[in-house]
């Protein structure tokens, strides 16, 4: 069933300056064919655009990411979407804080504000439609019927196609400093953290529990891209479809504590991950979420297999 899901009225919290969405990201990878095979198997739609690929989800008009060829796999930048009338204030804020405004990278010309976070991660704020959800994304469960088989035959199960980009988790060298910067400059808010190990941040204009998360490493890098799917069934089905195509390494099925989402992470060809995520907590625009600091061993996951030993290893920096 195909639905157009892109046109939901944007929610907004008046009087608060903050980005409303992760608009898109750009990755470079050494071999575009490898990216096409991986993200295609994952259930995303890839379209040739310029020298690279655009990443889309079926039935949604938004372009969530672009992939270009480069010497090694790298998260080139994250682009945040802002409301048009907020844009001049973001420009003023960068000036006020003495943050150098940069030219866009070659081939990515746009009218956005380009600058770097304290770890050197390239960021953009641009005027864009709100692509983050303005209400909790629906979750479908099997109907509550008796006397019938509710699971499909394996041959009839179909494949998982994510509905949208959910969040991006990046490595940073100092989680506390990143929280401070992304709050003060981008206008994100802390949802929850585990000491100096990991932090989860949401948008003030209504977003999932996290649209960006940061994990401690010795250098910047991409840990995972997370994609929203419609049910736990689809999370499991996605894991199977990836294993069938040779992408069996990863972690899941499990349930996180912070965000409450069900997950399965599939390791990509470059040592980072794409996550199937379902049923994540939602923080409405008019709600002040009570940010907590949670012991890591009690807050990482409620249940699931033991994570791979190198799950939090930063291969991008290696």
Tokens of 312: 């939090």
CB of 250 to Fe ion, least distance (A): 12
CB of 275 to Fe ion, least distance (A): 5
- Minimum distance from residue 169 beta carbon to Fe ion (Å): 6
Q: In which residue are the tokens 């976070």 written?
A: 117
- Please, what is the minimum distance in Å from the beta carbon of residue 224 to Fe ion? 6
CA distances from 147 to 73, 144, 256, 307 (A): 51, 10, 33, 38
Binding site for Fe ion (CB under 5 A): 226, 275
Least distance in angstroms from the C-beta of 74 to Fe ion: 20
Nearer to Fe ion among residue 191 and residue 226 (C-beta): 226
Cβ at position 127, least distance to Fe ion in Å: 27
Task: For strands 164-172 and 212-216, give the pairing.
Answer: parallel
């Amino acid at each position: 069933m195909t639905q157009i899901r892109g046109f939901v009225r944007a929610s907004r919290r008046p009087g608060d300056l903050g980005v409303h969405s992760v608009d898109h990201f750009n990755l470079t990878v050494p071999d575009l064919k490898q990216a096409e095979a991986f993200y295609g198997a994952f259930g995303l739609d890839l379209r040739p655009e310029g020298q690279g690929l655009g990443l889309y989800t079926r039935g949604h008009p938004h372009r969530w990411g672009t992939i270009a060829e480069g010497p090694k796999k790298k998260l080139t930048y994250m682009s945040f979407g802002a409301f048009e009338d907020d844009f001049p204030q973001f420009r003023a804020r960068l000036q006020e804080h003495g943050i150098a405004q940069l030219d866009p990278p070659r081939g990515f010309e746009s009218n956005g504000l380009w600058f770097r976070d304290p770890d050197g991660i390239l960021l953009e704020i641009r005027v864009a439609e709100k692509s983050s959800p303005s209400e909790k994304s629906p979750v479908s469960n099997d109907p509550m019927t008796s006397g019938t088989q509710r699971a499909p035959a394996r041959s009839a199960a179909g494949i998982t196609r994510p509905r949208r980009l959910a969040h991006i988790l990046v490595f940073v060298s100092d989680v506390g400093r990143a929280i401070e910067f992304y709050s003060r400059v981008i206008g994100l808010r802390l949802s929850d953290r585990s000491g100096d190990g990991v932090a989860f941040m949401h948008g003030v204009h209504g977003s999932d529990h996290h649209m960006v998360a940061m994990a401690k490493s010795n250098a910047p890098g991409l840990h995972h891209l997370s994609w929203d799917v419609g049910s736990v069934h689809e999370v499991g089905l996605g894991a199977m479809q990836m294993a069938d195509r040779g992408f069996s390494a990863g972690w899941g099925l499990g349930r996180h504590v912070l965000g409450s989402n069900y997950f399965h992470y599939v390791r990509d060809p470059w040592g980072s991950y794409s996550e199937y995520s379902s049923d994540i907590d939602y923080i409405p625009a008019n709600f002040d979420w009570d940010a907590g600091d949670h012991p890591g061993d009690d807050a990482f996951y409620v249940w699931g297999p033991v994570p791979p030993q190198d799950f939090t290893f930063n291969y991008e920096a290696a």
